[in-house]
Amino acid sequence: MAYIAGDTITGDQYNIFVNNSSSPYGYNHFAGTGSGSYGLGQTHIATVTGGSTTITASQWNTLFTAMDNIANHTNDTLTTRSQVSAGDTIAIKAAVEADLATLAASVAAGSPNADALSQSSELQSSPSNTAAGTPARWAGNHTVEHTISFSNNNDLRHFFNAGGKMRIKITRTAGGQDGGGDTGKDTSMDQLITAMGDFDLRAQSSARSGSGESITTNGLTNGAADLSSSYTTLFHLTQDDGSYSGNMSIKYEAKCNNTNYSDATSITMRVTLDDAESGTLESNSDAQSDGEYTAPGSPVAPGQVDQYENFIGVTDVALHTVNPTTAQGLASVASISGSAATSNTVTVAD
C-alpha cells in the first residue's frame, strides 16, 4: 500500500523509501549505485529491520537530508518539511513517495535542470593533427572521432545522470586562399557552423545551441542512453541558402563500446563536415563551372579567382566536457578517465 499522511510508518515501508529497486524507486536506487538509467554514486542509506520496527528520528532525518541534497542539485522543489525529533508524528511528513518519484525522474532524465556544472576543454583536434601532414585547406570532408572513457559503467551513468555532457565546438581557424584569405566556401561554412552552434550529447537527448539552415535528420531525442555499438545519427544539418545550398552539411553520430549504454565504458562521437561540391587544383587555362583559377604563385588578376577558391580553410573540431560539480548538494561526482581523438581525416584534392 502506498504511504499517505496518517499511515503508521513501518520498517518495511521505510525500506521501500530507502532501497526499492522498482517503482516507486527508493533513494539508494536513483541516488546510489543504481542500474539502467538510474544512479548518481552517492553513499547508500542503511536499511532497517523490517516489519513493525520503529523508525528513529535520526533515520528519518538522514533520508530527508539526502533527498534535499539531491533536489538542490537537480533543482527540484520538494514538499516543505523540517528535521524531526523524537516523539514527532512522522505521518505528517507528507508526500515522501511523490518527492522520491520526482527525484528519480530527474536523475533518469540526466538532471536537465541542474546548474552546478562546469565546462573544461579536454582535447582539441584540427586538420594539422593528421598523419598526412599539415594541410592548409580541404575539399570533400573533414571527419573527426572523439572518444571519452570512464573507469567503469557506473561512472559513465553517474556522469550523465548528474547532468554531464559531451560537447563539440567547431571553429574555422584559417582561410583557404593562397594568402590565407577567406574563400566563398569559407564564408558559407562559417554560416553553417554558426547555425549549428555548440552540440551537446546528454543522458537522454542531444541539443544544439544554434538555429537555422535545413535539418536533414533531427535525432535530438537520442542521448547517451540510446546508444549501441553501431553509430546512431544524432543530428544532420544542411545549408539551405547561398551559392552552396544543399552541398554543405555537418553531421553528428555517436556510439558506445558495448552492445548498449548500460554496459559501456566509453562513448565516441563522429563529426563530419561535408562539402559535396569539392574541387581540384586547376591551372589558369582550365575553366570550371564556378570560375577560373590562377596558376600557383600568380597574383589574382581581374576576372580571375584564387587557385584555392574551391576549398575550405583549416577547421577545428574540439571536444569539451560539461562536468557535474558538488557545488549544489552532491557529495561526489563521477568524471571521465580519459579522452582522445581516435581519428581525424581530411579529404584534400590533389
2 within some domain: no
Same domain, 214 and 309: yes
pLDDT at position 91? 47
pLDDT at position 39? 97
Same domain, 41 and 188: no
Q: Pick the closest to residue 309 from 269, 344, 282, 339 (CA basis).
A: 282
Rounded distance, CA 170 to CA 273, Å?
10
Same domain, 101 and 137: no
In tens digits, the chain (350 residues) has pLDDT values of 444 455 567 788 889 999 999 988 999 999 999 999 999 999 999 999 877 777 888 888 899 999 999 999 999 999 877 676 665 555 445 588 899 999 999 999 999 999 989 988 766 666 555 545 567 788 888 999 999 999 999 999 999 999 999 999 999 988 888 878 898 899 999 999 999 999 999 999 999 999 988 788 888 999 999 999 999 999 999 988 777 788 899 999 999 999 888 899 999 999 999 988 755 544 433 334 333 466 555 566 666 777 788 888 889 999 999 999 999 999 999 999 999 889 988 876 55
Domain count, the chain: 2
Give the phi and the psi of residue 60 in degrees, each rounded to 5: -60, -45
- The domain of 18 spans 11-108
pLDDT at position 278? 58
Answer whether 153's CB lies under 8 Å from 334's CB.
no
Same domain, 121 and 269: yes
| CA 129 to chain centroid | 24
Here the cell at position 230 is 553501431
Same domain, 51 and 159: no
Cis peptide preceding 135, ω within 30 of 0: no
